[in-house]
Amino acid sequence: MNPNKLTPGYNIMWESSRMMLPEHREQLLFQKRKKKEYTPLPLSADQLEEMNFLMTQSITEDQAICITYVSSGMKTQFWGWVKSIHYETQRMKMVNDEDVLDVSLQQIVSIESKADYLDE
C-alpha cells in the first residue's frame, strides 16, 4: 500500500489543521498583506529642505521632477511638473504628459530632479 496524506501517521504535522475557518483565513491574509506594506522612515530636516527646494524649482523654472510617494502601502513613482502647492491643506498637484496627480505632502518619501532620474 502506498502512503498518502490521509494515511494515519504519514501526515502528523497537519493532522489537526486540515480545515480552517474563513475568519482565520482572512486574518492570516491580512497579516501577510500588512507585512508587505511599506512604511516610510521619518525624513530629516536636510531631506525636507532639499525636497522643498526641488518643488519650488519645479514651479519657478518649469523643471520636471520625479517623486516617490506611498499609496496603499506601496511605493509609487511619478514624474512631472509641480503646478501648485497648498500648504494649508498639505497637498501638491503635479502634471505630466499623460496624467495629473494630487498627493498629500505627508505621503512623499523622496524627490529627485528629472535630470538626475534620467541619468540612472
Who has greater pLDDT, 16 or 60? 60
pLDDT above 70 covers a percentage of the chain that reads 80
In 3D, which of 76, 73, 68 has the Cα closest to residue 38? Answer: 73
**How much is the pTM?**
0.63
pLDDT band of residue 2 (cuts 50, 70, 90) is confident
User: What are the distances in angstroms from CA 14 to CA 6, 10, 11, 20, 27?
Assistant: 10, 10, 6, 12, 19
Strands (E) across the chain are located at 65-71, 74-86, 91-95, 100-104, 108-113
Cell of 95: 502634471
Least confident of 34-38, 39-43, 91-95, 101-105: 34-38
pLDDT band of residue 53 (cuts 50, 70, 90) is very high
